[in-house]
Structures are given as C-alpha cells and as structure tokens.
Chain A
Amino acid sequence: MTKELIAQHNLTDDEYQKIVGILGREPNITELGMFSVMWSEHCSYKSSRVHLRKLPTTGPRVVQGPGENAGAVDIGDGLCAVFKMESHNHPSFIEPYQGAATGVGGILRDIFTMGARPIALLDALRFGGLDNPKNRHLVKGVVAGIAGYGNCMGVPTVGGEIVFNDIYSQNPLVNVFCLGIAQKDKIFLGTAAGIGNPVIYFGSKTGRDGIHGATMASDSFDDQSEQKRPTVQVGDPFTEKLLLEACLELMAGDLLVGIQDMGAAGLTSSSCEMAARAGNGMDLDLTNVPRREPGMTAYELMLSESQERMLMVAQAGKEEECIRICKKWDLDVAVVGRVTGDGILRVRDQGQVVAEIPAKSLADDGPRYERPYSPPGYQDMLTNLNYDALPDVKDANAALLLLLESPTIASKRWVYEQYDHMVRTNTMVRPGSDAAVVRIKGTNKSLAMTVDCNSRYCLLHPYEGARIAVAEAARNLVCSGAEPIGLTDCLNFGNPERPEIMWQFVLAIEGLRDACEHFKVPIVSGNVSFYNETNGLSIYPTPMLGMVGLIESAEETMTQWFKQDGDAIILLGKTREDLGGSEYLKVLHHREQGSPPLLSLEAEKSLHDFLLKAIRDGLVQSAHDCSDGGLAVALVESCISGPVARRGAVVGLGLDTLRQDALLFGESQSRVVLSVKPELVDQILKRAGEAEVPAMKIGTVGGDRVVIDVAKGQWSEGCRIDLPVDQLFEQWAFSIERTLSQA
C-alpha cells in the first residue's frame, strides 16, 4: 500500500499501522476503503467521543439513548417520540439542491428504521448574507431541495430557523431534524442477532454515486471543493416513500430481527455496525447486490452512498415474506448474506473473498483522540467591547425597521410556504411561532418542537452560548405550552485539529451538559459535524439543538401572537444591559462583539415552571420568548405574526438605569412577553411574585400602531417608537422575498 494511497484515504500513518495490527497483514484496497470511511471523523467521532460522554443521556422517559439510528422518549399511551437531527453541510455547499434533499432523506430513514412513522421535519439553516449572489443561489437551492424531498415524502416541514451571517458564506449549514411516532414496544434496532439469519438488501440499486461522501464530510474545504461534486448523492424521494411504506409493513409483521439504513459509508457501515452491536459477524456476497451498472468493483459497492437503501436481518425462514412485501412496493430486494458467529465481516464477490475484517474493529475500534485545546488569542478582543464608544439609539423607529428587515429576524414565510407544513393533518401550530406543535392522533396529546442555537453567543463564549441555546429551546417549548422532555444535538464546528476549535467544542459540550442537567432534559441522539472550514476560515461554533416538548392536553397549546384588543401585556423576566452579541449591535453598529447575555439557570427554570402552570391553568392569551432583537422586536412580532389579524399595542417602559438601546433591543435571557385578559393581571402578577419571577404590566393590546414609549432615565433622554402595524408587517413579512427577487 503506497503512502499516497493511504493519504488519499485520509488515514494517518498511525491509523494505518493500527489497521495492519488488527488484520495482522496489509489490507487490500477494498479493506483500506472500508476502514477509511468507518474511521473517518464523520463515522467514528474520533475527536469528539471522549467529550460526548459527558452529556446527560438518561432519564425516566428515555427509551433509547444515543448510539442507535435515533433516540426515543416515552410520551405515554404506549407511544414514544423518536427523533434526531443531522447535518448535511458539505454536500449542500457543493450542490445545494441534492445536498439538502439527501439530508432530508437520510434523517427520515434514521427515524423510520426505528419503526417510527415520521410526522414532522424541522430545518436549521445558516447562510452568508443575501447581498452576495452566490448565497442567494445557495438559499434558493437548499430550500428547493428540502421542499422537493420532504413534500414528496408527505412528511410536513413544520418549523425551523435560519440565521444569515457572512461567516457561513463559504460553509453554509443544513441541519435537519425529524421526529416520528412509534409503539414503545415495537422499536426496531440495528442489530444482526441470530447466527444463520438472512441479511437482506432492499431499496434502490447501488450506483457509483457518493463514494467517499463520509470522507469528504470529514475534511476541510478549499477553492477546489466544487470538484467534489461527484461525491454528493442524488436523492429520489419517490423511492424513499416506497421504502418508508415497505419498512412499516415489514415491521408490522413478525419478520425482522434488525434493520439499518445505508447512510454514510453505505453497505460497509450498515453491515459492520449491525454485526458489531450483536457481537456477531456477517458473511456478505456482493454478487447479488442490485446495481445500476455492470463492472462495479467490490470497493465501489462497499463504499457507495447511493440513497434510499436499507439492510435488514430477517428471521430465518421469513425471507420469502420479506421479499414479497418489498416487491409489492416495487423495490429491489436480494438476500445478500447471513449472520455468522465468528465476529468477522467477510465480503465475497464472484466467489472470491475480497475483505475479511473483524466487524467490531471497523465499527467500534476506530482511533480516539484527546485533541489539545486552548482558547484562541483573539478571544479577549472579541469579548472586550467599550460600550461608551457606541452612541445610544437616537431614532428608535429607524432602528426597529432595520432590525425587522434583517433577514435573521424577518419573517421566513418565503421559505416555509415552499414546504408542505400541513400534510398528515396534525399541524396545530404552523411555522412562525416560538415552536411548532403537532397533535398525536388517537390521543389528546401534542408535541412541540423547536430548533435553536445563537452561534454568535457561542463564538463570544462557547460555554455560555451553549447554555443559552438549551435555555432558549426550552423557553420556546414552554411558551408553546409544552414541558421539555428530550433533546437532540447537531454540533457544527471547524477543524478539530486546531486547538482553538477544540476549545470551542469542549466548552460548548460542558455548557450543554450543565444546562441539560439543570432542566433535566436528556440528550437522546446527536451528530457531530467537524471541518466546517474553508480556506482556513472556520464557521462560528454552532451547537444546534432540536428540543421536543409534551403537551398533555391539546387545549393547553399556546402561540406567540396577541389574541384580543384590550388584553394586558406583561413582561416576565429581568432586563439587563445585555447588548453583547446582539443582532442590534450587528445590524446597527456592525459589531459582533461583547459578552453574551447573562443566564441564570435557576431564574430560567423558575420562569418555565411558573409560565407552564399559568398556561395550563388557562390564564394566558399569548406567550412569546424575547430573543433576537430583544423586547421591541418580540412585542412587534406578537403584533404582526398572527395568522388571522394584526394588532397594535401601546407600551410604556421606564427602566431608568439602562441605555435605551439595551432596554429596547438588548437580548437579556429568561424573558417572555405575555398577553392576558385584563381581569387576570393581578392574579398573574401575584403568582409571579410567589414564584420569584420578575413581572410587570407594560402595556395594552389594541389599535393600528405599535407605540413604545421609553421614559427619560438616568442615562437616557427617553425615546419613542410609533409606527403603523401595517408598515411594520410589510417591512418584516416580505424582506427576504424582496432581497431574493434580485438576480
């Protein structure tokens, strides 16, 4: 094996020597390829695994934690919610439509492989600024790709979030979350138990696409990266839909022992991981693998990442029934091997043994690295910000309009109107509120879902940023009337071989751990995406979270928009001088600096407990989390985001020790804008006092203008926002559409 060949497979000399040690001989080319994909960062988590262990993954509701295709959480009634989030960043940059589409396809397979019918998708996307035509092209392609795949599958895309920042221009993020519902006692795992049981391949034929996709996803990018387009797979949602229905039909019968989708590293990963989980081996014969073209080598067959393929281990004697069901759904199907007891993954092609590797070595014995980490030299420069040098806001109207137009804050309707967000007729709260809410048919329950991460906070302080991400996700669920019950993460970072990136990663993990432990929300599944760097420039650390909450009774579902004129507006939580890392500083002062807002986990938890009880007791008309753009933007969103009517509001603020811009646009945590019926104000304020949650009435819903008066204070002259609701709506609702309609 030449040094060049080893290097081309992204293996280090040490890693190669380890392979030789395992095999007791030099690997052949097929074996080298199999090791290279299984030991890639993408598949082996070699840089992250020692840190991921710190995360809390257990709890009374956890049915399945990390390590399987997806996590599962008990929601009662004999059901569980099965969910996971995954990244498809690199492919989406190279080929936005197919990259995003196959990202959706991959996560859907992870869910239905577990025996769950997928009922909801959410997407968390990061792009560079829309003033750049290339970014506009990426946005259009990614959104069309998600729509093309998800819509065809008949799984609604019910929510998500999008942030625009030039740091993502050379490395956009496409993170897809999927949730399905399964019978708690009918969860399927990827296990090859039972020596002699048949291994059956079904789905699409294997082609030469996507070979080394996992390796590509484990490398940094440069100007030549577009040449990697052939490593991006091409999706066929129609076949995936057939695969979904076939899987659920197979699972309804007593036929299967284990099942796994062929995602990254294709046939190699599915076969060795299933065998390793059961402590068994597998004997595969490639001769019968359905293929798109003749002349494919064993190397290509084992490494192809052609989409819409599955591997199942059936009970011996049930082969015919499995084949019948696959054929009913017009899928290719073939018995390609048997489970063996010797622990070896043995691959034959045309009568020859072409690979012979201990399954466990491939799946589990990859290298583990404790990579060095230390803060970057520029960290202090990022956090130190002299606020005295920044003039306070003069024209609050103009500042508000600029923020509403900022694509990060502006309505995402241009995006979600391209997604079928209603199919399956479960969507109770559609995209555009704090969280999406989907009912569970056959019960009175519903599930709320949100994806969140403020990566600028994570840049400024990875530990605080990660804690805030958890707090905000939980707050979004609570504002929707849901109790947070589980979490999946998708950790997007730069090159882990750089100590400062590893530092961001380690701190973020610790932040996640501390916040999740405090809120008692376990992390049941996840994904790490390293090497999000192009030409040496890393993305902001982006530990994206997907959190799921349970609403016991559908009537307790809450939304963010004001419901009725005359209702009182109440602000929960304390407003501090938290301008650091705010969207306001970025948009108005072009600075992404300072310390992220202070977060007290205790105060946050008190807020959640108080608010959830108030919503369940029917005291609340609307609840909206304050996040990007602060209190002023939250108030305006409550006025203009409703599906039926837009409403005005008259608000008076007088916190006299704050800067005006911090009061209006600062992003202090643990704050919620409520509206309540006027006769319930006293009761709410009394309850809040007892729960030690800061609360005050700040205004009234009504009229056709949004008026926010800031009284003169110790540090400020006072200012006034006074704008027509319709103008605010136009500014906010069509901003992205206006920008994208440029060539």
Chain B
Amino acid sequence: MKIGVVVFPGSNCDHDCQHIFKDVLGQSVEMIWHKETSLAGLDAIVLPGGFSYGDYLRTGAIAKFSPVMGLVKEFAKGGGMVLGICNGFQILLEAGMLPGAMLRNKSLHFICKDLSVKVENAATSFTSACQPGQVLKIPIAHADGNYYTDPVTLAAMQANAQIVLRYCTPESKVTPAANPNGSLDNIAGIINAAGNVLGMMPHPERCAETVLGNDDGKLIFLSMLESLKQGKKPLQMASA
C-alpha cells in the first residue's frame, strides 16, 4: 500500500507516522508537501500531529487553506481513507470534513500522558482489528482536545455510531473522571458519516512498537491496511 503523510509547516508527527507505516508495517510512504498539487497513486492519507502554522489563530485554522487540503477533500469525497491524528483531527474539523470544533483543554494546560480509550465502534475501516468495547492504552499530547459540537449533531453522531473512541477508565467505564480535557461525551475520536474519514486526538503512532512498552496503537494502522487490502468500500452508516 502507498500511504501519503501530509507535511504542513509545523507538522511534527510526520516522521513518526512515516516510521510506523514504513519501518514497522513495511508499507511505502510518500511525504506530501502542503503545496502539492496531486495525490495520484495514494491509497490512504494521514494528516499527522503537530502545530501546523504554529497553531496561530486557532489550531488547524490556517492549515485548512493549504493548497493540499482541496485535494484531500476530493480524495475523501471519492471514498479515500483519511486519518487525522491530533492536529490532523483539528484540521479535519476546521476544514469541515468532520463536524464540530476543538476548545482549549478544560485545565488550560497542555497534557501529555497515557490514557485509556474505549473502541465504541469496531466496525469501521480504522478499528476493525479491535474487539468491540476494547480498551486501548494510547497517549494524548495536546492543549486543544476539548471536543464540542451542537446537540443535534451530537445526537446524530451517536445514533450513527460515529463516535468511534471515548476516553474511559482502564476498566472501560466512560466516566467524567476519565475525561482528560472536558471533551463532550468523552469523545476521543469520530468518523464521518461515509465512514472513510477518522479524526482522533490520541496518538496511535506513539504506541505501536513493543520497544516503547506498548503496541495498542498498532491496531488502528493494521485495521486501515486490512481494509485497504480487501479493497472494500468504506462501510456505509445507517444514515447521513
């Protein structure tokens, strides 16, 4: 498979994503400069974490104007898989490819630590290697991960099983205490209605190798590769 990792000025998890797909999973990876005008030949696209454009103005707010984002939107419209991690998730929100917005963490601090995340929907192209309800240990590292959307959109996403990952206790209980940043409904990751664009705040690329003490995150990437290999169209949700 050929995975494209988009590099915005200020991206800083681009090399980490490249490392996972290339060195750990043996795939070919193309680094896509944000001024790129073609995404031909790519099987999936990753928007990596970091501080695109310094997070100035608002996280992701400037990156959405990057030339490459028009292509990413087209790629997704055509059914291509797009994974946004952390700043990538924030960019997907700003670009309107996923609903909602990010607020500052409730503590107003940057938070970097391992957390438990519950796989609420294991039937997506990004989570099919997980068990339903499985608890993954994945680190977060962000200052703006406090997800918000309006009640109508939230209800629709809930009804549609679009909330894919929720912060939880190690025993898989979704509680306010397990919520690190004040995120609505403990949301850690959501998918679009078409099922081919996933945004998640936790960093699966940081926990996909045993040498780092934890490889839970590998399941996300293995799910993607499996879905791509089967060439299956992204799962259609009940309604959009």
Interface residues of chain A, those whose CB is within 8 Å of chain B, are 144, 147-148, 151-154, 236-239, 241-242, 329-330, 416-425, 427-428, 439, 441, 554, 643
Contacts and interface: CB of A to CB of B under 8 A. Distances in A.
Contacts of B12: 152-154, 241, 423
B19 A241 contact: no
Interface of B: 9-10, 12-13, 15-16, 19-20, 23, 49-51, 53-56, 109-114, 139, 141, 143, 203, 205-206, 209, 211-213
Contacts of B112: 151, 416-422
B53 A238 contact: yes
Nearest to A241: B10
Given A152-B55, A417-B112, 13 more contacts: A147-B110, A152-B51, A154-B51, A242-B9, A330-B9, A417-B111, A418-B112, A422-B112, A422-B141, A423-B49, A425-B16, A425-B205, A643-B114
Nearest to A236: B54
A237 B141 contact: no
Contacts, number: 84
Given A152-B10, A238-B51, A417 B16 contact: no
Main secondary structure of the interface of B (DSSP, over half): mixed
Contact of A237 (B54, B110, B213): B54
Contacts of A422: 112, 139, 141, 203, 206
Chain B CB count within 10 A is highest, among A153, A239, A330, A418, for A418
Contacts of B9: 238, 241-242, 329-330
Closest 3 CB pairs of A and B: A154-B12, A238-B54, A152-B51
A600 B139 CA distance: 43
Contacts of B109: 144, 417-418
Contacts of B15: 424
A553 to B, nearest CB: 11
Nearest to B139: A422
A650 B22 CA distance: 48
A567 B10 CA distance: 47
Contacts of B111: 417-418
B19 A425 contact: yes
B213 A152 contact: no
Of A148, A417, A419, most buried by chain B (CB within 10 Å of CB) is: A417
Contacts of A417: 109, 111-113
Contacts of A237: 51, 54
A241 B212 contact: no
B197 to A, nearest CB: 24
A237 B12 CA distance: 12
Nearest to B205: A425
Contact of A428 (B49, B143, B211): B211
A729 to B, nearest CB: 16
A153 B15 CA distance: 13
Contacts of B209: 425
Given A237-B51, A420-B110, A428 B213 contact: yes
B10 A238 contact: yes
A238 B49 CA distance: 14
